[in-house]
Amino acid sequence: MDIATFQAYGYFFFTAFLVAVLYGYIYHLYSAQKKGTRDYEKYGNIALHDDITDQPIEEISKTDEIKK
Amino acid sequence: MFHWLEKNPFFFAVAVFVVIAFAGLIEILPNFAQASRPVIGTKPYTTLELAGRHVYIKNSCNACHSQLIRPFKSETDRYGHYSLSGEYAYDRPFLWGSKRTGPDLMRVGNYRTTDWHENHMKDPAGVVPGSIMPAYRWMFKNTADIDTAYAEQLTVMKAFAVPYNAEIPMVDGSKATVTLADTVEGARASALEEAKVIAADMKDQDVKDAVAAGQVPEIVALIAYLNSLK
Amino acid sequence: MENRPLEYDYTVAKWFMLSTIVLGIVGMLVGVILAWEMAFPAVNTIAGEGLAEYTNFSRLRPLHTDAVIFGFTLSGIFSTWYYIGQRVLKVSMAESKFLMFLGKLHFALYLLVVVAVVGSLLLGITTSKEYAEFEWPIDIAVVVVWVTWGMGIFGLIGIRREKSLYISIWYYIATFLGIAMLYLFNNMEIPTYFASGGIGAWYHSVSMYSGTNDALVQWWYGHNAVAFGFTVPIVAMIYYFLPKESGQAVYSYKLSLLAFWGLMFVYLWAGGHHLLFSTVPDWMQTMGSVFSVVLILPSWGSAINMLLTMKGEWQQVAASPLIKFMVLASTFYMFSTLEGPIQAIKSVNALAHFTDWIVGHVHDGTLGWVGFMIMAALFHMAPRIFKREIYSKSLMGTQFWIQTLGVVLYFTSMWIAGITQGMMWRAHDEFGNLAYSFIDTVAVLQPYFTIRAVGGTLYLVGMFLFAYNMYKTMTSSRRVEESELQNASPMGA
């Protein structure tokens, strides 16, 4: 197998893989939001409540205990 | 899985890198061996020509002039045969340019002469009425850097096996050789010999005097380079 | 520890803010000089025949591009990083002496590189590769600056309080990684002085790639330097500043995440569109063309997300010049990311390539999108950093309209110039001969070059107004309390 063939197969499969991952990601984002397992939109508030005295949206020490 | 990625800066960075590096890996790397083979008749630059190329780069001529003829009738009519990949085999860096404020120069050596360039570089609008190109009069005074050109020749011969002092096949079946001096003094001498041929066709007395005194003004090197573009 | 309340430390952000303004004026001033030189060639010798070498178009052109890219834009990116980074990670640089030191070192090294670049480009020391003109000693210094910045980024992330990384941080990380990869590979070069055993100029180098390969690597870099310099970090800014200034959370955070990955994957493939009809393999040209069109999707994903963030709040656009800047910036982003793919279509590119249309495209993106967004960011940051209100709202409004007019004059004139010249180059008469000599196609552009120069000058005038407004904000504006700084920035009359 010469390099061009290898290149073509590599390109095809990796792109297919990334497309699958991207669609999986889209599905994950919206289904998690709908089922209520994870609220992505709340992260938008990171920009709005960003004073150093504000409560973090997800505190770094606590999140380890949060399930899922 | 996805959520884990969003919270792990390290693995996130790795993922971003994989995604952005992929295109380069596929597009660029495998092409390398193929594209750098010279076509028949393409010679490496002589010391003076390369010094001229450095003058071309120093003054960013490539900001306004391309060296890439696209395969359209209007371009081949105007500039000559369209460009072939192998013709650029010894171009480090490439000088295709991205804007044609002035015309393409890929084959300017076919239809312009030393005399034309001399007049044009002094006063572009005097030769081409309406030209918006600035004059480059300092090139008649500044001295070209022959040593650096020679250093570059040595470097590319060692590192990339550019065929100096070797037989190169020409289109008509003959062989040509571009010689490279053993020492920097030898390179200066051979560049001066070449410069004398160019200066003989020039009118500027200062340039003639400088060459007679063993100096190579930038303009002479530049014209040698432009004449080599064919 | 002491009981003094913890505050964000904006020292480094402030320094980079100053360099953004100064280098912005320098870069744009050089650009305006270039524009007048094209309209009136006599301007080339404006400083006299003796200095013509340093004032003529070709010597100044790389200085213009590099000053606005690596001076103005990059300073703006660094300044906003040292501001946004702390805030969305909820950690102050004052908490780590090491990060503070890195930040200051970053700025100092950056200034050194700027000085070296300006000097070397004026002297004509260049590798000729667009936006990568620097010779090897400067390249090494650039890498050091970049690594310093990277250590600062990941250091700050390492001590953060906010677990999730806000979308802007994603974009900053991508900027860091993308430029690092591109810059390194495009600047692979061998110093000739050392390779030849000490002959010639010590700073000279020769590219490791030749001809077509060199072009391929260069435009993979050149295109993506635009991606990771003019798109990715500017999107990072707008994702923070527009929500913060308007008090509206991003319209769809999920869409912002998707657009991010889409942009990351697609952008890198599009570089081939700079090389259509050249000697690079056909499949790469086609790939570049196709991916350029696909690129509309993730670009518009971000832009539409920004405009929708203003949903129901459009009265703010009328009321606040700061919001105006950002909304117009995202509009220009949409416009520019539609124009680019159109130019990447092969048949259009055959006409547009090598003409002023490309120059017009670059400038509606940079002046309209990058310039406006960076200035808006600085306007938003200034009251928070200096604890003073923005000196003059009416001056901001004036600046907005002057610069908008400038941008419109710029890109409309360049459209006409580019398409006119492209059509004339290819025109044949009834016998199949070329209808125009090259100089005919140059002479016809003179009015458009003049309009463009006027447009550029207007933008520069706006830049001076901006600098004046910022200067007054820093020094003599009314002092404000923390409570006034929540969302909309306080502005004086």
Asked if C354's CB is within 8 angstroms of B99's CB, the reply is: yes
Asked if C215's CB is within 8 angstroms of B96's CB, the reply is: yes
Asked if C162's CB is within 8 angstroms of A57's CB, the reply is: yes
Residue B1 pLDDT level (bands cut at 50, 70, 90): low
- Of C209, C349, C332, the C-alpha closest to C272 is C349
Residue whose tokens read 């993106």: C365
∠ Cα C340 C270 C228 (to 5°): 85
Strands C189-191 and C205-207: antiparallel
Say which CATH topology domain C11-195+205-477 has. Answer: Cytochrome C Oxidase; Chain A (1.20.210)
Rounded (10°) angle between helices C167-186 and C253-267: 10
Taking only Cα atoms into account, the Rg of chain A, rounded to an integer number of angstroms, comes to 20
- How far out from the chain centre does Cα B200 lie? 23
Asked if C257's CB is within 8 angstroms of A47's CB, the reply is: no
Secondary structure (3-state) at C285: helix
Q: What percent of chain B has pLDDT over 70?
A: 95
DSSP one-letter string for chain A: --HHHHHHHHHHHHHHHHHHHHHHHHHHHHHHHHHTS--SGGGGHHHHS-STTSPPSSBTTTTTTS--
**pLDDT computed for residue B35 by the predictor:** 59
Q: Is the peptide bond before B93 cis (omega within 30 degrees of 0)?
A: yes
User: In residues, how long is chain C?
Assistant: 493
Q: Does C203 touch chain B (CB under 8 A)?
A: no
Report the b/e string of C375-407 with b at 16+ CB within 10 A. bbbbbbbbbbbbebbbbbbebbebbbebbbebb
Asked if C254's CB is within 8 angstroms of A29's CB, the reply is: yes
Q: Does C237 touch chain A (CB under 8 A)?
A: no
Of all residues in chain B, the one with the smallest CA distance to C36 is: B132
How far, in Å, CA of A62 to CA of A13, rounded?
A: 40
Dihedral, CA of residue C271, residue C273, residue C276 and residue C282, to nearest 10: 70
Of all residues in chain B, the one with the smallest CA distance to C424 is: B74
Query: Is a pLDDT exceeding 80 seen at residue A63?
Result: no
Q: Are C27 and C72 in contact (CB under 8 A)?
A: yes
DSSP state of B62: G
Residues of chain C with C-beta less than 8 angstroms from the C-beta of B144: none
Report the b/e string of C39-64 with b at 16+ CB within 10 A. bebebbbeeeeeebbebbbbbbbbbb
Residue A65 pLDDT level (bands cut at 50, 70, 90): very low
Distance from CA of C190 to the nearest CA of A (A): 27
Q: Are C472 and C381 in contact (CB under 8 A)?
A: no
Q: Does C268 touch chain A (CB under 8 A)?
A: no
**pLDDT computed for residue B225 by the predictor:** 97
Asked if C166's CB is within 8 angstroms of A47's CB, the reply is: yes
With contact defined as 3+ CB pairs under 8 Å, the chains touching A are: B, C
**pLDDT computed for residue C266 by the predictor:** 87
Interface of A with B (CB under 8 A): 3-4, 7, 10-11, 14, 18, 24-25, 28-29, 32, 38, 63
Tokens of B66: 């391309």
- Residues facing C354 on adjacent strands: B99
Of all residues in chain B, the one with the smallest CA distance to A68 is: B3
How far, in Å, CA of C184 to CA of C142, rounded?
A: 10
Rounded (10°) angle between helices C11-39 and C57-66: 150
Q: Does B152 touch chain C (CB under 8 A)?
A: yes
Interchain CB contacts (distance < 8 Å): A and C: 79
**pLDDT computed for residue A67 by the predictor:** 39
Q: Does C315 touch chain B (CB under 8 A)?
A: no
Q: Does C8 touch chain A (CB under 8 A)?
A: yes
Among B121-125, B203-207, C260-264, the least confident range: C260-264
Residues of chain B with C-beta less than 8 angstroms from the C-beta of A63: 7
Among positive and negative, which fits the CA dihedral C204, C208, C210, C212? Answer: negative
How far, in Å, CA of C76 to CA of C70, rounded?
A: 10
Interface with chain B: mutation pick from C122, C157, C179, C196, highest number of B CBs within 10 Å: C196
How far, in Å, CA of B47 to CA of B189, rounded?
A: 10
Residue A1 pLDDT level (bands cut at 50, 70, 90): low
Residues of chain C with C-beta less than 8 angstroms from the C-beta of B77: 428, 433-434
DSSP state of C492: -
Among A40-54, B148-162, C314-328, C380-394, the least confident range: A40-54
Distance from CA of A64 to the nearest CA of C (A): 10
Asked if B151's CB is within 8 angstroms of C193's CB, the reply is: yes
Interface with chain B: mutation pick from A1, A2, A6, A7, highest number of B CBs within 10 Å: A7
Q: Does B138 touch chain A (CB under 8 A)?
A: no
Q: Does B26 touch chain A (CB under 8 A)?
A: yes
User: What are chain B's domains?
Assistant: 2-34 (no CATH), 37-228 (1.10.760.10)
Rounded (10°) angle between helices C167-186 and C211-226: 160
Tokens of A46: 């990171």
Span C199-211, pLDDT tens digits: 999 999 999 998 8
User: Greatest CA span in chain B, whole angstroms?
Assistant: 77
How far, in Å, CA of B192 to CA of B196, rounded?
A: 6
Asked if A38's CB is within 8 angstroms of B3's CB, the reply is: yes
**pLDDT computed for residue A68 by the predictor:** 36
Secondary structure (3-state) at C162: strand
Q: Does C172 touch chain B (CB under 8 A)?
A: no
**B132 burial type by CB count under 10 A (0-12 exposed, 13-18 middle, 19+ buried):** buried
Please name the member of C6, C92, C243 whose beta carbon is closest to the beta carbon of A47: C243
Question: Which residues does B52 contact at the CB level (< 8 Å), separation at least 6?
Answer: B144, B218, B220, B221, B222, B223, B224, B225, B226, B228
Which whole number is the average pLDDT over B149-174?
Answer: 93
Distance from CA of C202 to the nearest CA of B (A): 9
How far, in Å, CA of B3 to CA of A57, rounded?
A: 15
Q: Does C244 touch chain A (CB under 8 A)?
A: yes
Asked if C428's CB is within 8 angstroms of B151's CB, the reply is: no
Q: Does C483 touch chain A (CB under 8 A)?
A: no
pLDDT top residue among B97 and A62: B97
Of all residues in chain C, the one with the smallest CA distance to A33 is: C254
Asked if C8's CB is within 8 angstroms of A47's CB, the reply is: no
- Of C271, C265, C335, the C-alpha closest to C131 is C271
- Residues facing C390 on adjacent strands: C491
Of all residues in chain B, the one with the smallest CA distance to C287 is: B27
- Of C30, C229, C222, the C-alpha closest to C129 is C222
* Residues in chain C with pLDDT values less than 70: 1-4
Residue B156 pLDDT level (bands cut at 50, 70, 90): very high
